[in-house]
Amino acid sequence: MATWTDRYWNSADGLRLHYRDYEGPRDKPPILCIPGLTRNARDFEPVAERYAGAWRVICVDLRGRAGSDYDPEPKHYSPPFYVADLLKLLDQEGIADAVFMGTSLGGICTMILASTDSDRIAGAMLNDVGPELCQVGIDRIATYVGKDVEFSSWNDAVEQLRERNGEVFPRWGDGEWQRFARRVCREGKDGIRFDYDMKIADNFRSATSTPAVDAWPAYRALAGRPVTILRGEISELLTQETADRMVAELPDDAELVVVRDVGHTPNLEEPESVAAMDRLLKRVTERLD
């Protein structure tokens, strides 16, 4: 198992934020892993297992998740604040650019950052997210985000998560569900619970109830660098139509990979995902040479 060091940085508004730092060479861009809305650094254990050592791998907990401070101002749980936090981390570590691997919300942050600081991005993987999001997928997320649950045991957590999400990951066996439960939940004095601030839901519902802004310019700001788009074959958030347009918008840079029999989101352990990440990093390396 790849080993890491728990490290921290401070946001501009004084929050102590956590990341896992897996050692690797400092003479090339690190891999910066940014999780989804309710998720955390543990989601990227498969990435670290495969690439740590050959690459430095940094897996962040966004504010309000896992080892990072919860924000006393729930309205700050929004992409502009997350992006500012990420830029501060890069500056603290003296990182000029990184290979951004963003799952869902993490991909949104990547596109927003590209719109203002594209030179910080050496390459990007957008995991089941794009500049247009399907309302069906947004509605599904709304059914569970911010709903606190106490599980009676880890086995109870596994079974409840399997019951809720079985249609998203129809091929998963016991091992996958066990790992999933350990990644999304924590065990503490208050029992086994989801590992994020439930107040994240407040801003999510506010943001998704207002008219969507045109995010295509932010996506197009990724032009000129390797981009990989992962799409779960049965995803309800990123449609095939949007994914196809993403490739058409960046025909010289973007590769689309569809992960079969997976919904929102691929967990980066699938053969298609692994091969796609390998190709992305190869393209980044070739541009560095």
Specify the CATH number for the domain of residue 13: 3.40.50.1820
Matching residue, tokens 């990184």: 98
The DSSP 8-state label assigned to residue 52 in this structure reads B
CB-based burial of residue 157 (10 Å sphere; 0-12 exposed, 13-18 middle, 19+ buried)? buried
pLDDT attached to residue 289: 80
Closest residue by Cα to residue 46 from 65, 36, 33: 33
pLDDT attached to residue 284: 98
Asked if residue 75 belongs to a domain, the reply is yes
Q: How far is the C-alpha of 183 from the C-alpha of 46, rounded, in Å?
A: 12
pLDDT tens-digit series, residues 128-145 = 999 999 999 999 998 889
Average pLDDT on 20-49 reads 97
Average pLDDT on 226-255 reads 98
Angle ∠(22,276,260) on CA atoms, nearest 5? 120
Asked if residue 193 belongs to a domain, the reply is no
Share of the chain above pLDDT 70, in %: 98
Which residue type occupies 255?
E
pLDDT attached to residue 203: 83
What pTM did the predictor assign? Answer: 0.96
Q: Helix (H, G, I), strand (E, B), or coil: what is residue 1?
A: coil
* Residue range of the domain that includes 283: 5-135+213-288
The residues that bridge with 256 in the sheet, in sequence order, are: 229
Q: How many domains does the chain have?
A: 1
149 token code pair: 């649950």
Kindly tell me if the per-residue pLDDT of 34 is higher than 80: yes
Asked if residue 184 belongs to a domain, the reply is no
Sorting pLDDT into bands at 50, 70 and 90, what band is 209? Answer: low
Burial 221-241, CB ≥16 within 10 A → b, else e:
bbeebbbbbbbbebbbbbbee
Asked if residue 195 belongs to a domain, the reply is no
pLDDT attached to residue 204: 85
β-strand 16-22 against 5-10: which pairing, if any?
antiparallel
Kindly tell me if the per-residue pLDDT of 212 is higher than 90: no
Average pLDDT on 161-188 reads 96
Share of the chain above pLDDT 90, in %: 91
DSSP result, 87-138: HHHHHHHT-S-EEEEEETHHHHHHHHHHHHHGGGEEEEEEES--SS--HHHH
Average pLDDT on 183-201 reads 95
Average pLDDT on 145-154 reads 94
Sorting pLDDT into bands at 50, 70 and 90, what band is 178? Answer: very high
Q: How far is the C-alpha of 96 from the C-alpha of 90, rounded, in Å?
A: 7
Average pLDDT on 63-82 reads 97
* Cis geometry, peptide bond prior to residue 143 (ω within 30 degrees of 0): no
Closest residue by Cα to residue 77 from 206, 183, 194, 238: 206
Kindly tell me if the per-residue pLDDT of 58 is higher than 90: yes
pLDDT attached to residue 239: 97
Average pLDDT on 245-249 reads 98
Tell me the pLDDT of the chain averaged across its residues. Answer: 95
Matching residue, tokens 């719109």: 115
Q: How far is the C-alpha of 247 from the C-alpha of 212, rounded, in Å?
A: 21
Kindly tell me if the per-residue pLDDT of 207 is higher than 80: no
